[in-house]
Chains A and B, each alone.
Chain A
Amino acid sequence: MNEQDEFDGDRFDGDESVDHAPAPDQAPALIMEKARKVYPMADSEVVALDDADIVVEADEMVALVGPSGSGKTTLCSIAGGILSPTSGRVVVGGVDISTFGPKQLTRVRRELVGFVFQSVNLVPFLTARENLLVVDELGRRTGAPARRRADQLLEELGLADRAKNLPGQLSGGQRQRVAIGRALMNDPKLVLFDEPTSALDTKLGMAVMELIRDEMKSRGIAAIVVTHDERITQFCDRSVHMEDGKVL
């Protein structure tokens, strides 16, 4: 795949692949079948994800719960095209990404999924608004529509008056809200939240979860929310438990 291909053609669409999608819009946001991730070690191997099966429907919000090291981040990384599975099948928004190479996966991340990571989520030298707009700069630039979308998201997230602030000038909760806006900028099929409230106190965490739920449900976007806080799960449609790399 050459450099050009990365930007060629339209956005990925549901009809590009998959046999069992009835219609693109109702296609599940995520299908994982026997997804496996193995890290070879010096004289053994670590099975980070052990033949995981999971389906997340198009507008479903799933809480992914499990102890530390159980494979939650690995599962999300594979679902989001950050990691390639060692084996198994992964379909995101109707696109089978199981055999995608690094450049195709880069495009998947840019067009099909949104991420809110555990730690670093914002570019420190960009303002809140620019942290949203940068998403538009990574692929084919759309310009004015992207600016409108960024302003609308900031408004919805209660950050309109913080648009020009750098991340360093924002509180933890505000930063997390900017990250949510950033994850929604590319109109993804699936948003992956890896412990989105772990850095926030309980009250703020609940408020952020409420916001996440409102944003996802109003847009009909699917989400996986990784957590080990049982109180978080109440915001989701259902909980999926993991242990030792297995989906229970």
Chain B
Amino acid sequence: MFLAWKEMRRAKARFGLLIAAVGLLVFLILFQQSLQNGLLTSFTGALRNQSAEVLVYRTDGRRILQASVISPDLTEMVGQDPSVAAVGRITQGTFSVTPLALGADAEPLETSIIGFELPDLGGPRFLTVGRVPANTEEAVASEVDADGGFAVGDVVRIEPGGKQLTIVGLARDAQLNVAPTLFVTYDAYRAALVSRNPDAGAPLPNALGIRPAPGLTADQVAAAINTLSPELDALTRDDAAEQAPGVAQVRQSFRVIFLLYGFVVPLVTGLFFLIITFQKAPALTLLRAIGAPASRLVASLLVQVAIVLGGGLAAGVGLYAALARGRIGGVTLRFETTAVIVWVVLLSVGGLISALFSARRVLAIDPYSATTGAGVGR
């Protein structure tokens, strides 16, 4: 402790900069973790956080809700399968919607509207306030858009046609395609279509929400439905969110970033300690020569590594806690506790492993070198 501490006190700037660098890297990692999760939630939150445990698409819709159209015979086929307790039809479309709270002539917003036949098979799963829509005049909105004219009590207008919907509830993490999202009844959805085009008929469902038969898991039901027809593509709601087009690519890109950062932190600490171990080799050799056990010097090194990692992680997490809230370009950022724990463990282990290279150097010091003019460990 004595040596480790005294050295750090005498080289405050050097160690301070290292701690700051580690802290900044930790912050960037965690911030990007929030960015990734926020981004994916904005794209597919409405799928993950709708109420049906299993969603059935039509295969040729390639897991895009709007592109999948399910014919009545397929609906019937699914409904008759013994693994299925109930089927709820789900429709989805993009509409131009004016949030009247921002003024009658406010700019209309591209808005996803999801129509559900049964509230527990395609309705919003988590309401933070309010209630599920009960008639064709009501809607639940994605919570992040509340301040944009989608708060409870606000009225929005569908363009053209002028059909109005009153917001009666807010759903958490329920956006689709990074746009304001409304959950409405099947009939309200139809009314919205008619508002836009008076000749519109009854819409075919884009997907089916499934309630599993008692005793069956979502996975089992999805598997059972997939055997019915190659035209059917059944997924659990988490799979539906994960396997939506683009999600895998986003994760892949972020994984590369995380991998790079995950290596940079141990690399930076490892190199730093290797350099200072080289620089102070004469002092370490002297200490070995006057009777310092090698284990003492290694312990002193590891204490410094622990202080640097601990300080850097604390600084990074602190910065993250302070800054990872609010929204960036329509993406909601949250403090991700799991990510913090995982990264703290990963980076601590990585940092300590990288310090083993310096430890090996220390152990290799030959005290006899202190007697020669050079006095430097090889």
Contacts and interface: CB of A to CB of B under 8 A. Distances in A.
B212 interface: no
Interface in B358-378: 367-368, 370-375
A106 B296 CA distance: 12
Contacts of A119: 282, 372-375
Given A110-B291, A138-B287, A120 B370 contact: yes
Contacts of B293: 3, 6, 103, 106, 138
Contacts of A109: 289-291, 367
B6 A126 contact: yes
Nearest to A198: B373
A139 interface: yes
A123 B284 CA distance: 8
B342 interface: no
B6, B285, B371 interface centre (most CB from chain A within 10 Å): B371
Given A125-B6, A137-B3, A120 B282 contact: yes
A80 to B, nearest CB: 8
Given A120-B285, A139-B291, A82 B10 contact: no
B295 interface: yes
A111 interface: yes
A82 B287 contact: no
B289 A117 contact: yes
A84 B314 CA distance: 47
B2, B280, B287 interface centre (most CB from chain A within 10 Å): B2
B2, B280, B282, B291 interface centre (most CB from chain A within 10 Å): B291
A60 interface: no
A24 B6 CA distance: 38
B286 interface: yes
30 contacts: A77-B371, A106-B292, A107-B291, A109-B291, A109-B367, A110-B291, A111-B291, A115-B290, A117-B371, A117-B375, A118-B372, A118-B373, A119-B372, A119-B374, A120-B370, A120-B375, A123-B3, A123-B283, A123-B286, A124-B280, A124-B283, A125-B7, A130-B6, A134-B3, A134-B287, A135-B291, A137-B2, A137-B3, A138-B293, A186-B291
Interface of B: 2-3, 6-7, 10-11, 280, 282-283, 285-296, 367-368, 370-375
